[in-house]
Chain A
Amino acid sequence: QVQLQESGPGLVKPSETLSLTCTVSGGNITRGSFYWSWIRQTAEKELEWIGRIYTTGSANYNPSLKSRVTISRDTSKNQFSLILTSVTAADTAVYYCARDRFQGGYYFDYWGQGALVTVSS
């Protein structure tokens, strides 16, 4: 059973950097045909895909956030991370990490419980 768990600060000041980590258990982030994604959900319940990292370490991002986002990984800890720079109140959301599986198309089959990040001074 794959499990994902987000961790990181719940409060970030405007213009600063948001940093979250997703710890994966029950599966190796360097094996298989999987991507590992970050998705966020605003208070209005809108879901937005942020980006993902492949088992090889290559990443791709939502163009709407690309200039501010970096997704990386620590294979020794089986973790992948999200960095979002220059945050504003619009970045306040619940941030989810998820496994992105390909089987006749990509889909998110395992999700973390979510981490609420509030951007406020």
Chain B
Amino acid sequence: DIQMTQSPTSLSASVGDRVTITCRASQNIRNYLNWYQQRPGKAPKLLIYGASSLQSGAPSRFSGSGSGTDFTLTISSLQPEDFTTFYCQQSYSTPFTFGPGTKVDIK
């Protein structure tokens, strides 16, 4: 199985901050990397697919980059509704695997 790691595990930030979350795969997954946002008590919601494509309806302050083994999710200006948890997921091969999540909370 492909192992996914994320850093940091958690971070504290303020509204308006630029935030970057990193995801690393245990092997080359090309650009088969997706990002999800999960609010408490809700299902994960797709933000970015194919490493850098913004899902329809997702705010433009979210962007993704990377290929191979190293990827980043950037939030250009943190909004109050972004204080949630973010997960990366590889779709290069089954079994699909997720990162452990990065929790963003208010500083």
Binds A, one of B19-27, B75-83, B96-104: B96-104
What 1/0 mask marks residues of chain A from 28 to 52 whose CB sits below 8 Å from any chain B CB?
A: 0000000000000000011111000
Complex: how many Å from CA A105 to CA B88? 14
Contact B85 A108 (CB under 8 A): no
Query: With A111-B43, A113-B42, A113-B43 given, is the CB distance from A105 to B95 under 8 Å?
Result: no
Residues of A within 8 A of B1 (CB): 63-64
A45: chain B residues at CB < 8 Å are: 85, 100-101
B99 to A, closest residue via Cβ: A47
Whether the pair B43, A105 counts as a contact (CB closer than 8 A) is: no
Are B50 and A105 closer than 8 Å at their CB atoms?
Answer: yes
Query: Which residue of B45, B91, B94, B98 contacts A47 across the interface (Cβ within 8 Å)?
Result: B98
A21 to B63, CA, bound (A): 35
Q: Are A107 and B91 closer than 8 Å at their CB atoms?
A: yes
Residues A107 and B49 in contact in the complex (CB < 8 Å), given A47-B44, A113-B42? yes
- Output the least CB separation between B44 and chain A (Å): 6
Kindly report which residue of chain B lies nearest to residue A37, judged by CB atoms: B96
List A residues at the B interface (Cβ < 8 Å). Answer: 45-49, 60, 62-64, 96, 98, 103-109, 111-114
User: What are 5 pairs between A and B in contact, CB < 8 Å?
Assistant: A46-B98, A49-B95, A106-B96, A107-B34, A114-B42
Interface residues of B (CB under 8 A from A): 1, 31-34, 36, 42-46, 49-50, 53, 55, 85, 87, 89, 91-92, 94-98, 100-101
